[in-house]
Chains A and B, each alone.
Chain A
Amino acid sequence: MTDNRDLQHLIEELKKDKDFAGNVKHYKVLEGKEAVYASFPPGLHPSLEKALAVKGIGRLYSHQRTAFDLASAGSSFTAVTPTASGKSLCYHLPVLQSVLDDPASRALYLFPTKALAQDQLADLHELIEASGETVLSYTYDGDTAPGLRTKVRKSGNIVLTNPDMLHSGILPHHTKWVSLFENLKYIVIDELHTYKGVFGTHVAHVLRRLQRICAYYGSHPVFICTSATIANPKQLAESLTNTRMELIADNGAPAGRKHFLFYNPPVVHETFGIRRSAVLEVRDIAARLYRESVQTIIFAKSRVRVEMLVTYMKELTKKKLMDETIMGYRGGYLPSERRKIERGLRDGTIKTVVSTNALELGIDIGQLQACVMTGYPGNIASALQQAGRAGRRQDDALIIYVAQSMPLDQYIIENPGYLLGGSPEEAHIHPDNIMILMDHLRCASFELPFSLDDRYAEFDVQQLLEFLASEGVLVLAGDQWHWMTERFPASEVSLRSASQENVVIIDRSRPKETTVIGEMDRYSAMTLLHEEAIYLHQGTQYQVEMLDWEEKKAYVTEVDVDYFTDANLAVELKVISEDKLEERPEGTAAFGDLAVLAIPTIFKKIRFDSHDNIGSGPIRLPAEELHTASTWLSFDVPEGWTEAALTDAMTGAAHAMQSFIPLFVQCDRTDVHVVPQVKAVHTGKPTFFIYDSYPGGIGLSEKMFGQWEALLQQAAQHVSGCDCKSGCPVCTGPPESALDMKAGAESLLKDLAGGERLVL
């Protein structure tokens, strides 16, 4: 089936089906919009016009034209480009134009991953070939053959790479790239929204270093950024690049009508509020769509889930020989395999694809008719990207959101307006983080000595350089700070990890093939990589056999068990400075610096489905100290509460609050911690602390400082709305014993949130 009427018909059928419709909590329709076109810009090179004609493009969408005009005028800009809106022409056209005007021109494209760069290279090659011109474009990453590297450096008009390669492979060797840096006209940053949090902060500094090198060689490139829908694209881009940006927010691409179904699996365990597995529900829904011949993409959060769903779905085709109408798609597949799947999706031979968020990003698979989301991907931007995969141009699209039992998932089910309301989260970076700043100041000093009157981007760093000299890293000679150690600082700074000194995770399941499978910051490692911990890596379970804390190595072997481990961390908090203080109805809110002293105590083994505690053991590790930013809220002991009752209530409330912080700032649940103290040393009162998990803080708790009331309300509403009886993993956390966690937490939260009775 291919046309709108059939999809409409299917939706009607679904609505009539009692088993199905009973679980659909909401049905929402987003109306489509017509395309807005613009003519080709007058100066457009005839070869580009020809190339576009070959691809069947006779005019541009309005945003592509605006992009071309801004770039030609030398203005940096950020374009908000939902899925399938022709974003790559926003940068290909001005970049190719500059090369055709002046063959010496160079451009640098940055993609968050190697795979994306390779995908985009294929796209770019196609366009160049259609133009009949010679423009040299290459990817430059760890996979680039040594023989090709010199050629890329010396003559690549367009170099596609990733931030990590720029950081450690290009900038510290800038003398090999003189002709690139002298002639760099454009820096393209695709998938801007992925540069957030600690990673984004690192990348912000890599870009500052890049601009410093460009200035040294006398070039002043224009930035072109493209982003998925987030609340603050312009601000993020400006902060990331330290450059003033124009914003292209109105997209000219057409969109069809989108039908959203919000589906909540039935409750199967009353006490714990556990619902039927979303994976099984998705399987049934997708099977139905498959039988109706609706081309569908299914999103699942982990590789394992993808494989599970593919296995289930393939049951549908097992009787047909060589059938490839159902495929999985995730990281770890070979590039050739991925190309084949992408082709199959475009030409329609694949009916159903099950994917991780790998397909959220700008890989060209054409548009499908339906999208099924297994759970909430964690933020609105991702959810919208996933939903955007469905809907061909003017056609209707069906999006089915299947909730899991998790708090955020359930929140979305109750509040579909949050997802569809058009106010996605803000993405933040924090270039001021002193630890990250210092890491990159070292790298910058290595690349090019600072003079006594130099600044580093927007920072006045002379005192910091003096500090580095006192540490023996720099030496002042003449009027410059020169690098004076044998170290190579870029190799000591990883953009993707949370802390300077990480624990390396080594898989030794096969004695002859020990491999490093990942790394983790020290702080998280204490609770996730202690001995006997079950560590989940891309869906595979590993048991930690030995943790060498001195050497920062965790040795793991693959296992297959039916439990996970959960460690307890005893946390001591010490306020170092109190920078802001405000009296509010909900209590006294403060913001400042915090020293966190953490000691892991014991771990528990918890069975997967039942969440039974099936064993425990001690953890013997030294205490770790973390200096970070924090906000805290203290309040008077409410009347009639015993200390014990308050402790339980605060523990439950903290659990609920932690789940909802991602609603306010775009981050992972583990990027911030919420710690309750019934009598905090600093305030002498019951206090909730929220602190950033990263040394120095990355601006998350600073954002939360102004949002305490909203957070409390959100948590209160969620706890009281939860279907469980006396607290569950979904609301107040895994129940410690037979205690009723729920009533206390609920009452405390409501009390603090202003005593308003919210929905019941």
Chain B
Amino acid sequence: MSYEKNLMKMKSMLKKAEPGSKPDTAPRTVKKAPAPDYEDEWLAEGLEKETNRYGTVYKKVVDYPEDYMHGNYQLTELTAALQKWRLAEEAHPLAPDPGKRLLFFDTETTGLKGTGTLIFLIGLIEQHGSGFRLTQYLLPGPAHEAAFLYATGLWERPVTLVMYNGKSFDLPQLATRWTMNRTVLPPLPEHDAIDLLHGSRRIWKDELESFKLPAVEETQLGFIREDDMPGHMAPIIYQDAVKNGRAGYLMPILKHNEDDILSLVTLYIRSTDLVLQEELSGTAVSQTNIGKWYKDLKSHSRATAVLERVIEEYGTQHPTTHFHFGFLLKKEKRIEEAIQAFGVCMTKSAGRERILAIEELAKLYEHQVKDCTKALQLSGIAIGLLARDRSLTKPFSLRMKDSFEKREMRLKRKLFPGQAQKPTK
């Protein structure tokens, strides 16, 4: 209650102008702010100072040699990965535009959303000579935001940014900060975005439990963090550094950001390997996911090749592969093979997938094979399963039951013209 008490005291201090009077509305001009008084401490931590026409920013530059390893991967394997994309000529969400600079990008912010949330750290890594160069720009304080954003050079020309969840977080935040400084900064061009969180979700669906970056690092990249500062501590530490000038605690945030970005590079290499490989590697689950991804992207020949490879290796062990393969076959009018694929699912799959496979079988028998008796029989099986299978969600069960009952009625009309009637209630 002391907060309320304090406020009651402040009541007397509240001064009011004439009602209806408006505050000064002149648009703000950004003045070049002087370097913060804690500059020496920041420099002592190994930060470099950079000044531009908007003020001051601090940065840290790290060069990595050609043979630098991060987890199981060498950073320079990126060159091979990019070569694969060039050869593949595939319009894929992970494919970079060869005409643009490729930057791996990650930010740290003071909050989660809104105009009061600042970006205080921007890390960028790119190929540099035969190795890599990481540049981390650090905001000295809120008054230096224009200088900080300008220093990143992100206004110069469109580039490709590789990020983790950047499409819904880092990029919108960057746009917000840019808008807040729009009267002074050159406009922010539209950058290409490759979001490795989206990619990871597609590749490792049903295989990884968590898509937090450290979890993906451990299972896929062979990288285990040591003394990592948890991401949610970053805002608190940064605020402390700005309020009290203490730079020492900032360094673990820079380290955290560095690890994030290095992992982006190796995760990109790993993802490219899995998506574009010629022979089978990875599990049946992830390979099937990749095949389905191609299918959803309408890249049918690649989808077929990947799924066929899985089936060749695993046979009917992994029915989901047959499920997705079935749709591809159906599209290519390979009816018998499609029936075979869905048939595998009917006996081997469970739950939702089994019901959907039976539905596809019923459709194929009714419309392609013109075997209404078989289709009717399949509908009956499905309705039976829908009544028994407790693992199905209620809305799904109801929707499918309705659809199968309609199918049944239609089939009966076809089979026994003039006899079928509405079921009595």
In the complex, the number of residue pairs spanning A and B with C-beta atoms less than 8 Å apart equals 152
Contact with A along B240-258 (1 / 0, CB 8 A): 0011000000000000000
A220 on interface, CB distance cutoff 8 Å: yes
B118 contacts across to A, CB distance below 8 A: 482-483
A445 on interface, CB distance cutoff 8 Å: yes
A481–B324 alpha-carbon span in the complex (Å): 57
Contact A460 B115 (CB under 8 A): no
A212 on interface, CB distance cutoff 8 Å: yes
A447–B21 alpha-carbon span in the complex (Å): 21
By beta carbon, the residue of chain A nearest B33 is: A478
From 442 to 459 in chain A, residues with beta carbon under 8 angstroms from any chain B beta carbon are 445-449, 451, 453-459
A455–B25 alpha-carbon span in the complex (Å): 10
Contact B4 A695 (CB under 8 A): yes
A175-B111 contact given A243-B20, A244-B20, CB 8 Å threshold: no
B425 on interface, CB distance cutoff 8 Å: no
B115 contacts across to A, CB distance below 8 A: 172-175, 446-448
A182–B117 alpha-carbon span in the complex (Å): 22
Contact A486 B17 (CB under 8 A): no
From 418 to 466 in chain A, residues with beta carbon under 8 angstroms from any chain B beta carbon are 432, 434-435, 437-438, 445-449, 451, 453-461, 463-464
B16 on interface, CB distance cutoff 8 Å: yes
- Interface size class on chain A is 35 or more
B17 contacts across to A, CB distance below 8 A: 455, 458-460
Contact B4 A435 (CB under 8 A): yes
A178 on interface, CB distance cutoff 8 Å: yes
By beta carbon, the residue of chain A nearest B113 is: A488
Contact B180 A458 (CB under 8 A): no
A480–B179 alpha-carbon span in the complex (Å): 18
From 589 to 648 in chain A, residues with beta carbon under 8 angstroms from any chain B beta carbon are 593, 625, 627
A573 on interface, CB distance cutoff 8 Å: no
B271 contacts across to A, CB distance below 8 A: none
Q: How many residues of B contact A (CB 8 A)?
A: 47
By beta carbon, the residue of chain B nearest A450 is: B23
Q: Which residue in B15, B19, B23 is a CB contact (below 8 Å) of A238?
A: B19
By beta carbon, the residue of chain A nearest B238 is: A484
Q: Which residue in B10, B24, B143, B175 is a CB contact (below 8 Å) of A175?
A: B175
Contact B24 A455 (CB under 8 A): yes
From B19, B24, B112, name the one whose CB has the most chain A CB atoms within 10 angstroms. Answer: B19
Min CB–CB distance B24 → chain A (angstroms):
7
Contact A488 B114 (CB under 8 A): yes
Q: Which residue in A216, A467, A475, A695 is a CB contact (below 8 Å) of B28?
A: A216
A172-B116 contact given A438-B7, A460-B16, A475-B242, CB 8 Å threshold: yes
A510 on interface, CB distance cutoff 8 Å: no
B22 on interface, CB distance cutoff 8 Å: yes
Contact B23 A434 (CB under 8 A): no
Q: What DSSP secondary structure best describes chain B's contact surface? A: loop
Min CB–CB distance A513 → chain B (angstroms):
12
B235 contacts across to A, CB distance below 8 A: 485-486
Contact with A along B48-68 (1 / 0, CB 8 A): 000000000000000000000
Contact A215 B25 (CB under 8 A): yes
A239 on interface, CB distance cutoff 8 Å: yes
B299 on interface, CB distance cutoff 8 Å: no
Min CB–CB distance B36 → chain A (angstroms):
8
Contact A484 B8 (CB under 8 A): no
Min CB–CB distance A219 → chain B (angstroms):
10
Contact B242 A484 (CB under 8 A): yes
Q: Which residue in A455, A477, A478, A696 is a CB contact (below 8 Å) of B23?
A: A455
Min CB–CB distance A473 → chain B (angstroms):
10
Contact B13 A454 (CB under 8 A): no
B5 on interface, CB distance cutoff 8 Å: yes
A242 on interface, CB distance cutoff 8 Å: yes
A176 contacts across to B, CB distance below 8 A: 176
Contact A485 B111 (CB under 8 A): yes
B206 on interface, CB distance cutoff 8 Å: no
B175 contacts across to A, CB distance below 8 A: 175
A319 on interface, CB distance cutoff 8 Å: no
From B1, B7, B180, name the one whose CB has the most chain A CB atoms within 10 angstroms. Answer: B7
From 23 to 38 in chain B, residues with beta carbon under 8 angstroms from any chain A beta carbon are 23-25, 27-28, 31, 33
B291 on interface, CB distance cutoff 8 Å: no
A480 contacts across to B, CB distance below 8 A: 142-143
B399 on interface, CB distance cutoff 8 Å: no
From 195 to 246 in chain B, residues with beta carbon under 8 angstroms from any chain A beta carbon are 235-236, 239, 242-243
A576 contacts across to B, CB distance below 8 A: 8
A218 on interface, CB distance cutoff 8 Å: yes
B135 on interface, CB distance cutoff 8 Å: no
B18 on interface, CB distance cutoff 8 Å: yes
From 57 to 96 in chain A, residues with beta carbon under 8 angstroms from any chain B beta carbon are none
Min CB–CB distance A19 → chain B (angstroms):
48
Contact B27 A434 (CB under 8 A): no
16 A-B pairs (CB sep. < 8 Å): A173-B113, A173-B114, A211-B22, A216-B25, A220-B25, A449-B142, A455-B17, A458-B17, A458-B20, A459-B16, A475-B239, A483-B118, A484-B110, A485-B239, A486-B110, A696-B4
Interface set of B (CB-CB < 8 Å, partner A):
1, 4-8, 10-11, 13-25, 27-28, 31, 33, 110-118, 141-143, 175-176, 179-180, 182, 235-236, 239, 242-243
9 closest A-B pairs (Cβ-Cβ)? A446-B116, A478-B143, A215-B25, A482-B142, A483-B116, A175-B179, A460-B15, A172-B114, A486-B235
Interface set of A (CB-CB < 8 Å, partner B):
172-176, 178, 211-212, 215-216, 218, 220, 238-239, 242-244, 432, 434-435, 437-438, 445-449, 451, 453-461, 463-464, 467, 472, 475, 477-480, 482-490, 576, 593, 625, 627, 695-696
**15 further interface pairs, Cβ-Cβ under 8 Å (given A178-B182, A475-B239, A478-B141):** A174-B115, A175-B179, A434-B11, A437-B14, A454-B24, A458-B17, A458-B21, A459-B16, A472-B243, A475-B142, A475-B243, A477-B242, A478-B33, A478-B142, A488-B116
